[in-house]
Amino acid sequence: MLEPKYGDVSVTLDGNVATLEIHRPPHNFFDFVLIRDLANAFEALDNETECRALMLCSDGKSFCAGANFANRDAQSGEAPARSGENPLYVEGVRLFRCKKPVVAAIQGPAIGGGLGLALVADFRVATADARFAANFVKIGIHPGFGLTYTLPRLIGVQRSSLMFLTGRRIEGKEALAWGLCDQLVDSQDLRDAALTLAEEIAEGAPLALLSTRATIRQGLADAVKLQTDHEFKEQSWLFKTEDHREGVKAVTERRPGKFICK
């Protein structure tokens, strides 16, 4: 049964398009609970016959600024790892198993795992002030959320390597040229443009739509599962390093990190 709210995620179904909005302004930092609630909403919409496409958006300055490493103690709902799996990534893989097309509306930063969340979607509509970054090396850890699989699949190995190894932020116009987003619009038009694209998709024959998408994304969720298992293994030991602690501090203080390879 479809609920109007899944934790900090609101859901509205208008015609054949569902709008899911994340409510953790201003930066919409994620944790295990948010990704679990979002996955629950996705699965509920998979079971709604009237729903043919999803539009994912966020309330605030950022689409999703990733995990709040600078205030990890304040994050709620963290689940303990088990059997070499990160429960956060288990929930993330559930998002990739969603059967229906997703259009994401991207304003401001989509950083780290927030970029990973943006890449769950089939399409991204963004504003000129959108910023995409896989800044993991800046905080001394390995990329996560399946990005080492999904990002090269989207923009190629070379450009992905540039993003991963520099932590560089890619802004709206360059993101459009790279294929990181599919459409660039003014800020005031973002929701409408994303919704219009979702509605255009929803006009297709629903069974053919599901069948075609399943073929295009065949094996994607399983590949992300394998990749997140590896990413978590690498992250687990890097989280314990002094360089990670320095990286978080440096990013918080808006300065280059002073890393010591320890």
Number of domains in the chain: 1
Q: Is residue 131 part of a domain?
A: yes
Does residue 196 lie in a domain region? no
What is the domain range of residue 132? 5-186
CB contact at 8 A, 126 and 258: no
Q: Does the residue 220 lie in any domain?
A: no
Query: Which DSSP letter does residue 78 get?
Result: P
Position 227 in a domain: no
Give a yes or no: residue 228 inside a domain: no
Buried-state track 211-248, b at ≥16 Cβ within 10 A, e below 16: eebeeebeebbebbbebbeebbeebeebeebebbebbb
Tell if the pTM clears 0.85, that is, is over it: yes
- Does 200 fall in a domain? no
Neighbours of 178 (CB within 10 A): 17
CA distance 183 to 202: 18
CATH number of the domain residue 122 falls in? 3.90.226.10
Per-residue pLDDT of the chain (262 residues; tens, 9 = 90+): 799 999 999 999 999 999 999 999 999 999 999 999 999 999 999 999 999 999 999 999 999 999 987 665 434 345 555 567 899 999 999 999 999 999 999 999 999 999 999 999 999 999 999 999 999 999 999 999 999 999 999 999 999 999 999 999 999 999 999 999 999 999 999 999 999 999 999 999 999 999 999 999 999 999 999 999 999 999 999 999 999 999 999 988 989 999 999 8
Domain annotation covers residue 217: no
Rounded CA-CA distance 36/196 in Å is 27
